[in-house]
Structure 1
Amino acid sequence: MLIKARERAGMTQTELAQRLGEYQSFVARLESGQRRVDVVEFIELAEILKFDPGLAFTKIKDADGQ
């Protein structure tokens, strides 16, 4: 989901990392699932990538079949 949102925003991992104040490898770990995203980070990602965090949570929940 994060990859699609980043690509829709027309950003590279490096550009997103700069906006977050992190390294590109941080974004790569988030996108690959090697690192979990906490709620505060998720909201910041939503603001930067311009997606609705509530809707995204619903989609994630539905994808897990819960």
Structure 2
Amino acid sequence: MPPNIHDDRYRILREHLLALRLKAGLTQAELAQKLGADQSHLSKIERGERYVDTLLFLDWCRACGNDPLKAMRRLIDGGA
């Protein structure tokens, strides 16, 4: 059975992505523009209302100036 959107791992992922965006000094609107996405979609991800797919994770990390492999390693090792 696939994990629930309220699984702690998704919470950790959302918190990490939010921290990356804030550290990069980007608003949701600015990040959305870089990603070619809607700001509302990013907002729903950060609020835990939408899943983050792998490609969006990669693009989000890169748009925030972060190495996706390092970001994933931090998540695997237990948190943001």
TM-score by length of 2: 0.69
CA RMSD in angstroms comes to: 1.4
Match of 1:2 among 17, 22, 35: 17
Pick 1 or 2: higher relative contact order, CA cutoff 8 A, min separation 6. Answer: 2
Query: Who is 1:51 aligned against?
Result: 66
Q: Distance in 2 between matches of 1:23 and 1:39?
A: 17
Residues paired across the two proteins, number: 64
Deviation at 1:27, TM superposition (A): 0.8
More helix by share: 1
**Structure 1: 5+ residue stretches without partners:** none
CA positional deviation for 1:50: 0.9
Residues 1:28 and 2:67 are matched in the alignment = no
Q: TM-score, length-normalised on structure 1?
A: 0.81
Q: Stretches of 4+ moved more than 2 A in 1? A: none
